[in-house]
Amino acid sequence: MSDTFVTASPHWTWFIIPYFFVGGIAGGAYFLAAVLEWFGRPEDRPVIRTGYSLAFWGAVLSGLLLTLDLGRSLRFLNMLFQSDNFPHLMFKSFSPISFGAWALLLFGACAFVSWYAETGGTPAKLIAAVGGLLGFFVAGYTGVLLSVTNRPIWADSPWLGALFLASGASTGAAAIALFAPGRGATERSLRWVTTFDARALIVELLLLIVFLVSLGTVAKAWLSVWGLLLIVGVVGAGILWPLRLHLKPAGAGALRNPAVMVLLGGFLLRCVVLLASNSIEYHRVASVVAR
Protein backbone atom coordinates (compact mmCIF):
# COMPACT_ATOMS: atom_id res chain seq x y z
CA MET A 1 0.00 0.00 0.00
CA SER A 2 1.27 3.44 -0.86
CA ASP A 3 1.97 5.68 2.13
CA THR A 4 -0.15 8.33 0.53
CA PHE A 5 -3.18 6.41 1.76
CA VAL A 6 -2.57 7.25 5.40
CA THR A 7 -2.84 10.98 4.92
CA ALA A 8 -5.87 13.22 5.32
CA SER A 9 -7.47 15.15 2.51
CA PRO A 10 -6.98 18.90 2.28
CA HIS A 11 -9.62 21.37 3.45
CA TRP A 12 -10.55 22.67 0.08
CA THR A 13 -14.08 23.47 -0.84
CA TRP A 14 -15.68 22.77 -4.19
CA PHE A 15 -14.50 26.16 -5.47
CA ILE A 16 -11.19 24.57 -6.26
CA ILE A 17 -12.61 22.35 -9.02
CA PRO A 18 -14.01 25.18 -11.18
CA TYR A 19 -10.81 27.09 -10.44
CA PHE A 20 -8.63 24.32 -11.86
CA PHE A 21 -10.94 24.18 -14.89
CA VAL A 22 -11.22 27.93 -15.53
CA GLY A 23 -7.52 28.53 -14.87
CA GLY A 24 -6.71 25.88 -17.49
CA ILE A 25 -8.98 27.46 -20.10
CA ALA A 26 -7.64 30.95 -19.42
CA GLY A 27 -4.02 29.82 -19.67
CA GLY A 28 -4.56 27.67 -22.76
CA ALA A 29 -6.61 30.34 -24.57
CA TYR A 30 -4.00 33.01 -23.89
CA PHE A 31 -1.22 30.77 -25.12
CA LEU A 32 -2.98 30.18 -28.45
CA ALA A 33 -3.71 33.88 -28.83
CA ALA A 34 -0.04 34.61 -28.13
CA VAL A 35 1.08 32.16 -30.82
CA LEU A 36 -1.16 33.92 -33.34
CA GLU A 37 -0.03 37.33 -32.08
CA TRP A 38 3.50 36.37 -33.10
CA PHE A 39 3.03 34.12 -36.08
CA GLY A 40 -0.52 34.72 -37.26
CA ARG A 41 -1.85 37.17 -39.78
CA PRO A 42 -4.34 40.05 -39.69
CA GLU A 43 -7.30 37.82 -40.39
CA ASP A 44 -6.57 35.95 -37.12
CA ARG A 45 -7.32 39.05 -35.03
CA PRO A 46 -10.84 37.93 -33.96
CA VAL A 47 -9.41 34.66 -32.66
CA ILE A 48 -6.65 36.51 -30.83
CA ARG A 49 -9.20 38.87 -29.27
CA THR A 50 -11.34 35.94 -28.18
CA GLY A 51 -8.32 34.27 -26.57
CA TYR A 52 -7.38 37.42 -24.68
CA SER A 53 -10.84 38.06 -23.37
CA LEU A 54 -11.26 34.43 -22.28
CA ALA A 55 -7.91 34.75 -20.51
CA PHE A 56 -8.79 38.01 -18.81
CA TRP A 57 -12.22 37.01 -17.58
CA GLY A 58 -10.90 33.59 -16.70
CA ALA A 59 -8.15 35.12 -14.58
CA VAL A 60 -10.68 37.34 -12.81
CA LEU A 61 -12.94 34.39 -12.12
CA SER A 62 -9.98 32.28 -10.97
CA GLY A 63 -8.92 34.92 -8.47
CA LEU A 64 -12.47 35.13 -7.22
CA LEU A 65 -12.85 31.36 -6.79
CA LEU A 66 -9.52 31.07 -4.99
CA THR A 67 -10.32 33.92 -2.65
CA LEU A 68 -13.73 32.52 -1.83
CA ASP A 69 -12.17 29.14 -1.14
CA LEU A 70 -10.11 30.65 1.65
CA GLY A 71 -13.24 31.28 3.72
CA ARG A 72 -11.65 34.45 5.04
CA SER A 73 -11.19 36.17 1.75
CA LEU A 74 -8.82 38.94 2.75
CA ARG A 75 -6.34 36.29 3.70
CA PHE A 76 -5.34 36.05 0.06
CA LEU A 77 -3.10 39.03 0.77
CA ASN A 78 -1.03 36.68 2.93
CA MET A 79 -0.20 34.72 -0.20
CA LEU A 80 1.42 37.81 -1.70
CA PHE A 81 2.78 39.83 1.21
CA GLN A 82 4.35 38.98 4.54
CA SER A 83 1.78 40.07 7.09
CA ASP A 84 4.27 40.97 9.84
CA ASN A 85 6.59 42.67 7.45
CA PHE A 86 4.15 44.34 5.21
CA PRO A 87 5.61 45.61 1.99
CA HIS A 88 7.85 42.55 1.86
CA LEU A 89 6.68 40.00 -0.63
CA MET A 90 5.67 36.49 0.29
CA PHE A 91 7.29 34.15 -2.16
CA LYS A 92 8.49 30.61 -1.61
CA SER A 93 10.19 29.09 -4.60
CA PHE A 94 9.66 25.52 -3.36
CA SER A 95 5.91 25.92 -3.02
CA PRO A 96 3.72 25.55 -6.11
CA ILE A 97 0.96 27.37 -4.25
CA SER A 98 3.18 30.40 -3.67
CA PHE A 99 4.48 30.28 -7.24
CA GLY A 100 0.95 29.88 -8.53
CA ALA A 101 -0.46 32.84 -6.61
CA TRP A 102 2.14 35.12 -8.18
CA ALA A 103 1.86 33.56 -11.62
CA LEU A 104 -1.91 34.02 -11.59
CA LEU A 105 -1.56 37.65 -10.57
CA LEU A 106 1.02 38.43 -13.27
CA PHE A 107 -0.89 36.39 -15.83
CA GLY A 108 -4.02 38.36 -14.99
CA ALA A 109 -2.09 41.60 -15.51
CA CYS A 110 -0.83 40.46 -18.95
CA ALA A 111 -4.29 39.26 -19.90
CA PHE A 112 -5.78 42.60 -18.88
CA VAL A 113 -3.30 44.63 -20.94
CA SER A 114 -3.68 42.37 -24.00
CA TRP A 115 -7.44 42.42 -23.69
CA TYR A 116 -7.62 46.18 -23.12
CA ALA A 117 -5.20 47.25 -25.86
CA GLU A 118 -6.99 46.81 -29.14
CA THR A 119 -4.15 46.53 -31.61
CA GLY A 120 -1.10 44.36 -32.18
CA GLY A 121 2.46 45.61 -32.67
CA THR A 122 5.74 45.02 -30.87
CA PRO A 123 4.62 45.88 -27.30
CA ALA A 124 1.64 43.57 -27.70
CA LYS A 125 3.94 40.83 -28.90
CA LEU A 126 6.25 41.19 -25.93
CA ILE A 127 3.38 41.06 -23.47
CA ALA A 128 1.97 38.09 -25.34
CA ALA A 129 5.28 36.24 -25.02
CA VAL A 130 5.41 36.72 -21.26
CA GLY A 131 1.69 36.10 -20.80
CA GLY A 132 1.74 33.02 -23.02
CA LEU A 133 4.39 31.37 -20.88
CA LEU A 134 2.60 32.40 -17.69
CA GLY A 135 -0.60 31.05 -19.22
CA PHE A 136 0.86 27.60 -19.64
CA PHE A 137 2.22 27.86 -16.14
CA VAL A 138 -1.21 28.73 -14.73
CA ALA A 139 -2.74 25.83 -16.66
CA GLY A 140 -0.18 23.28 -15.49
CA TYR A 141 0.95 24.25 -11.99
CA THR A 142 -2.32 23.07 -10.47
CA GLY A 143 -1.41 19.52 -11.40
CA VAL A 144 2.12 19.96 -10.07
CA LEU A 145 0.61 21.35 -6.88
CA LEU A 146 -1.45 18.22 -6.41
CA SER A 147 1.63 16.06 -6.94
CA VAL A 148 3.55 17.98 -4.32
CA THR A 149 1.36 16.66 -1.51
CA ASN A 150 1.28 13.31 0.18
CA ARG A 151 -2.17 12.37 -1.06
CA PRO A 152 -3.11 9.18 -2.92
CA ILE A 153 -3.17 9.32 -6.74
CA TRP A 154 -1.84 12.90 -6.86
CA ALA A 155 1.49 12.27 -5.17
CA ASP A 156 1.86 8.82 -6.72
CA SER A 157 2.68 10.12 -10.20
CA PRO A 158 4.73 13.00 -11.60
CA TRP A 159 2.50 13.28 -14.69
CA LEU A 160 -0.44 15.24 -13.32
CA GLY A 161 0.99 18.67 -14.15
CA ALA A 162 1.62 17.61 -17.74
CA LEU A 163 -1.89 16.17 -17.99
CA PHE A 164 -3.54 19.34 -16.67
CA LEU A 165 -1.43 21.43 -19.01
CA ALA A 166 -2.57 19.42 -22.03
CA SER A 167 -6.14 19.65 -20.82
CA GLY A 168 -5.74 23.42 -20.38
CA ALA A 169 -4.57 23.63 -24.00
CA SER A 170 -7.43 21.51 -25.34
CA THR A 171 -10.13 23.28 -23.31
CA GLY A 172 -8.62 26.69 -24.11
CA ALA A 173 -8.77 25.90 -27.82
CA ALA A 174 -12.31 24.55 -27.44
CA ALA A 175 -13.45 27.72 -25.67
CA ILE A 176 -11.99 29.82 -28.49
CA ALA A 177 -13.66 27.62 -31.09
CA LEU A 178 -16.95 28.13 -29.26
CA PHE A 179 -16.82 31.91 -28.92
CA ALA A 180 -14.68 33.13 -31.82
CA PRO A 181 -17.30 32.63 -34.57
CA GLY A 182 -19.52 35.20 -32.85
CA ARG A 183 -16.65 37.68 -33.04
CA GLY A 184 -16.18 37.34 -36.75
CA ALA A 185 -13.42 34.75 -36.92
CA THR A 186 -12.72 33.45 -40.42
CA GLU A 187 -13.15 29.84 -41.41
CA ARG A 188 -9.42 29.51 -41.89
CA SER A 189 -8.44 30.86 -38.45
CA LEU A 190 -10.99 28.59 -36.85
CA ARG A 191 -9.70 25.57 -38.69
CA TRP A 192 -6.25 26.14 -37.21
CA VAL A 193 -7.80 26.30 -33.73
CA THR A 194 -9.85 23.13 -34.13
CA THR A 195 -6.94 21.24 -35.69
CA PHE A 196 -4.80 22.25 -32.74
CA ASP A 197 -7.56 21.15 -30.39
CA ALA A 198 -7.72 17.69 -31.95
CA ARG A 199 -3.95 17.28 -31.63
CA ALA A 200 -3.96 18.56 -28.05
CA LEU A 201 -6.64 15.95 -27.30
CA ILE A 202 -4.38 13.20 -28.62
CA VAL A 203 -1.51 14.48 -26.46
CA GLU A 204 -3.90 14.60 -23.52
CA LEU A 205 -5.09 11.04 -24.10
CA LEU A 206 -1.52 9.76 -24.27
CA LEU A 207 -0.62 11.62 -21.10
CA LEU A 208 -3.69 10.24 -19.35
CA ILE A 209 -2.62 6.71 -20.22
CA VAL A 210 0.95 7.37 -19.06
CA PHE A 211 -0.42 8.92 -15.87
CA LEU A 212 -2.59 5.90 -15.07
CA VAL A 213 0.22 3.46 -15.83
CA SER A 214 2.66 5.45 -13.69
CA LEU A 215 0.37 5.01 -10.71
CA GLY A 216 1.27 1.33 -10.57
CA THR A 217 -0.66 -0.49 -7.87
CA VAL A 218 -2.23 2.77 -6.71
CA ALA A 219 -4.28 2.72 -9.92
CA LYS A 220 -6.64 0.44 -7.97
CA ALA A 221 -7.84 3.57 -6.19
CA TRP A 222 -9.75 4.35 -9.38
CA LEU A 223 -12.05 1.40 -8.80
CA SER A 224 -14.84 3.72 -7.78
CA VAL A 225 -17.55 5.81 -9.32
CA TRP A 226 -14.83 8.36 -10.15
CA GLY A 227 -12.96 5.79 -12.20
CA LEU A 228 -16.12 5.07 -14.14
CA LEU A 229 -16.60 8.77 -14.75
CA LEU A 230 -12.98 8.99 -15.88
CA ILE A 231 -13.49 6.34 -18.54
CA VAL A 232 -16.97 7.30 -19.69
CA GLY A 233 -16.94 11.06 -19.13
CA VAL A 234 -13.35 12.15 -19.60
CA VAL A 235 -12.03 9.63 -22.12
CA GLY A 236 -15.24 8.69 -23.90
CA ALA A 237 -17.32 11.85 -24.02
CA GLY A 238 -14.50 14.36 -23.58
CA ILE A 239 -11.71 12.99 -25.80
CA LEU A 240 -12.72 10.15 -28.13
CA TRP A 241 -16.13 11.51 -29.10
CA PRO A 242 -14.89 15.02 -30.00
CA LEU A 243 -11.97 13.45 -31.89
CA ARG A 244 -14.45 11.49 -33.95
CA LEU A 245 -16.52 14.62 -34.47
CA HIS A 246 -13.44 16.39 -35.77
CA LEU A 247 -13.02 13.72 -38.41
CA LYS A 248 -16.69 13.38 -39.18
CA PRO A 249 -18.89 16.33 -38.17
CA ALA A 250 -22.28 15.05 -37.08
CA GLY A 251 -24.42 18.15 -37.39
CA ALA A 252 -25.85 20.64 -34.94
CA GLY A 253 -26.57 20.35 -31.21
CA ALA A 254 -24.41 20.66 -28.11
CA LEU A 255 -23.64 16.96 -27.89
CA ARG A 256 -22.44 17.03 -31.48
CA ASN A 257 -20.30 20.09 -30.98
CA PRO A 258 -16.72 18.95 -30.30
CA ALA A 259 -15.90 22.19 -28.45
CA VAL A 260 -18.72 21.66 -25.95
CA MET A 261 -17.71 18.07 -25.37
CA VAL A 262 -14.04 18.96 -24.87
CA LEU A 263 -15.02 21.55 -22.27
CA LEU A 264 -17.22 19.02 -20.51
CA GLY A 265 -14.40 16.46 -20.54
CA GLY A 266 -11.93 19.00 -19.15
CA PHE A 267 -14.27 19.85 -16.31
CA LEU A 268 -14.87 16.19 -15.51
CA LEU A 269 -11.13 15.53 -15.55
CA ARG A 270 -10.61 18.06 -12.75
CA CYS A 271 -13.60 16.65 -10.85
CA VAL A 272 -12.51 13.02 -10.95
CA VAL A 273 -8.85 13.70 -10.18
CA LEU A 274 -9.81 15.81 -7.17
CA LEU A 275 -12.62 13.64 -5.88
CA ALA A 276 -11.10 10.20 -6.48
CA SER A 277 -8.30 11.16 -4.11
CA ASN A 278 -10.39 13.16 -1.66
CA SER A 279 -12.83 10.31 -1.22
CA ILE A 280 -10.08 8.15 0.28
CA GLU A 281 -10.28 8.61 4.04
CA TYR A 282 -7.27 7.48 5.96
CA HIS A 283 -9.38 6.41 8.93
CA ARG A 284 -11.08 3.90 6.69
CA VAL A 285 -7.79 2.76 5.18
CA ALA A 286 -6.31 2.28 8.65
CA SER A 287 -9.20 0.10 9.76
CA VAL A 288 -8.84 -2.08 6.65
CA VAL A 289 -5.16 -2.62 7.42
CA ALA A 290 -6.00 -3.40 11.04
CA ARG A 291 -8.28 -6.25 10.08
Map the footprint of another protein across residues 164-203, applying CB under 8 A. Answer: 164-166, 169, 188, 191-192, 195-196, 199-200, 203
Tally the C-alpha atoms within 13 A of residue 35's C-alpha that lie toward its C-beta: 14
- For 55-116, the DSSP string reads HHHHHHHHHHHHHHHTSSGGGGHHHHB-TTSTTSB---TT-HHHHHHHHHHHHHHHHHHHHH
Q: Is 39 in the site for another protein (CB under 8 A)?
A: yes
Site mask for another protein (CB under 8 A), range 200-219, x = bound: x--x---x------------
Q: Is 94 in the site for another protein (CB under 8 A)?
A: yes
Q: Is 159 in the site for another protein (CB under 8 A)?
A: yes
Q: What residues does 81 pair with on adjacent strands?
A: 89
Q: What residues does 89 pair with on adjacent strands?
A: 81
Q: Is 74 in the site for another protein (CB under 8 A)?
A: no
Q: Is 286 in the site for another protein (CB under 8 A)?
A: yes
The b-or-e profile of 117-132 (16+ CB within 10 A means b, else e) is eeebeeebeebbeebb
Site mask for another protein (CB under 8 A), range 9-38, x = bound: --x-------------------xx--xx--
Q: Is 259 in the site for another protein (CB under 8 A)?
A: no
229, 267 in Cβ contact below 8 A?
no
Residues near another protein, by CB under 8 A = 1, 3-8, 11, 31-32, 35-36, 39-41, 71-72, 75, 94, 96, 136, 140-141, 143-144, 147-150, 155, 158-162, 164-166, 169, 188, 191-192, 195-196, 199-200, 203, 207, 282-283, 285-286, 289-290
